[in-house]
Structure 1
């Protein structure tokens, strides 16, 4: 589970931060999933080590421009590259209408299939390895947070023990690795679970932006390894947060604490906290850490590997 932040500013880009986009890389599937796609996201792809040819799914939180203005440019570029198989896009009502209108007036014709899925609370996607759920957040327009869960995996397969039992390598090993019962040619029945180590729990992360503090964000993030949560404003600017239905750094930390997450990564920062101003982003970090110590601050091109053992990994 590798996550790269492609945009961490709110509203407008700055010299060092683009607007919202987060890439989820799945090396085992050679796929990239994208969460939000603010203006300039395709440029951020070019500046990163991600491959746009591996883009398969895009999950949109809501219809504000700093989260969707990069969609058409990115999709058009994927078509010109000619090496994208298919892209599925998930998001709120009106997303399909928006993309259809953009394509019509720009006369953009895609050379690959695109499918837009209008999400409702609950499961929005599932395959053999992952399940993606969404829940409504509290913002000025319909907005959704997403939770991605990696399914539990069988423990390490004990090859030497299998060989000692006289089990020949081949298709049977695959069944045993999955914990299934198999019948050997000599009639013996073997329980694959006895040849595997402890179950490996799947990793989980949640993405919550844009929203003010709300119970549904806490429920969505419950027990995740990583919570990515907006922190547009400092605590002293809480009235702005209430007026605009955004979160402060302390609200993000309160969600993390209530949901008992392992790691909080704050993002979506207002440009008002730029270096040289009376309040800066380090102040927001200190505010959050006072409530939830295991808090970090995202930056553009930060890559975070969600660990299995609880040890953080980033570069």
Structure 2
């Protein structure tokens, strides 16, 4: 399972329908939060994500992306949390994020660590995936994040193993699938590449936060299964987008097309477009042939493996 839940999809000014920026990701039970706008803890309850997040990844320090941190930390504390929470932020953010954790003199009863990450690095390294950082372009120190899974093992050709190579079912199959050669009772040696296909790609989910369209996003989102990109404005307000260091829906579509992404989710909707999300979807779709989504708060997206049809 790789599930993305949009907790907040508005721009800097929330609306009745849309809360400030927050994105919940559940990868096989590992839960992460990307940005934490005001009221995120309520959105987590409302949309059923639970409070099992272990890492919070902050793109930048503007209020609509971080003012939910005090409420989240205190809600976790009131629920007797004991597990640690790690907060990651861009260069220069540690002191401010630490202040938010301890807002109003609160001292969490569970471990909270705050660290700064730089573009082009790895914020979190796990056995089967990484959360990488990449450069973004906003009006302050900022960073984007990409959850990138390792390649998976190739498919084991059981039919060939049994019928063509006459390998008896048993431990030999597991060893071959793990990349070990095996010697059979008749003296033959079978190598893994005789029965195991090429490695299969893992999944890639990319979240930009607020940004102008930049080359680093194209590189980070190469062949991404889901790109979540700033699309604050329509092209008609492109001058305003440049002034405020945001992207238009068309620019987001262009980035997704250049990256070869499969799906594009537009987020950070300016309140001026309340009720007009279809216009942003249409504009992005004029530049991008893949699937374009403009999620509402509470929208959940399941991200399948690239070769899911062959599973």
TM-score, with normalisation over the residues of structure 1?
Answer: 0.86
Contact 1:89 1:116 in 2 (8 A): yes
1:222-241 aligned at under 5 Å gives the runs: 222-241=222-241
Shift of 1:181: 4.2
Contact 2:54 2:86 in 1 (8 A): yes
1:1-315 aligned at under 5 Å gives the runs: 1-27=2-28, 30-53=29-52, 55-124=53-122, 125-157=124-156, 161=161, 165-166=167-168, 168-169=170-171, 175-181=175-181, 191-192=191-192, 194-275=194-275, 280-294=276-290, 295-309=292-306
Shift of 1:126: 1.4
For residues 186-219 of structure 1, give each alpha carbon's deviation from its aligned partner in whole angstroms, at most 9, with x where no partner exists.
9986645545454221111211121112222222
Q: What residue ranges of structure 1 are gaps of 5+ in the alignment?
A: none
SS for the counterpart of 2:15 is: coil
SS for the counterpart of 1:52 is: coil
1:99 & 1:219 partners in 2: Cα distance?
Answer: 28
2:241 & 2:288 partners in 1: Cα distance?
Answer: 19
2:253 & 2:279 partners in 1: Cα distance?
Answer: 14
Shift of 1:233: 0.6
For residues 64-110 of structure 1, give each alpha carbon's deviation from its aligned partner in whole angstroms, at most 9, with x where no partner exists.
01001111211222222224522222111343212332344523222
1:176 & 1:75 partners in 2: Cα distance?
Answer: 47
2:137 & 2:18 partners in 1: Cα distance?
Answer: 25
Contact 2:102 2:108 in 1 (8 A): no
2:214 & 2:113 partners in 1: Cα distance?
Answer: 31
1:292 & 1:311 partners in 2: Cα distance?
Answer: 22
Contact 2:202 2:306 in 1 (8 A): no
SS for the counterpart of 2:286 is: helix
- Larger mean Cα displacement after TM superposition, 18-27 or 214-223: 214-223
Contact 1:122 1:135 in 2 (8 A): yes
SS for the counterpart of 2:88 is: strand
CA RMSD of the aligned region, Å? 2.7
For residues 206-240 of structure 1, give each alpha carbon's deviation from its aligned partner in whole angstroms, at most 9, with x where no partner exists.
11121112222222222212111011011101111
Sort the Cα spacing of 1:11 and 1:72 in 2 relative to 1 into closer, same or farther, 3 A. same
For residues 34-53 of structure 1, give each alpha carbon's deviation from its aligned partner in whole angstroms, at most 9, with x where no partner exists.
11111111001101221213
Contact 1:72 1:99 in 2 (8 A): no
Aligned residue pairs total 303
Shift of 1:271: 0.5
Sort the Cα spacing of 1:77 and 1:239 in 2 relative to 1 into closer, same or farther, 3 A. same
SS for the counterpart of 1:100 is: helix
SS for the counterpart of 1:88 is: strand
Contact 2:69 2:101 in 1 (8 A): no
- Larger mean Cα displacement after TM superposition, 193-202 or 257-266: 193-202
Sort the Cα spacing of 1:104 and 1:224 in 2 relative to 1 into closer, same or farther, 3 A. closer
SS for the counterpart of 1:308 is: coil
SS for the counterpart of 1:154 is: coil
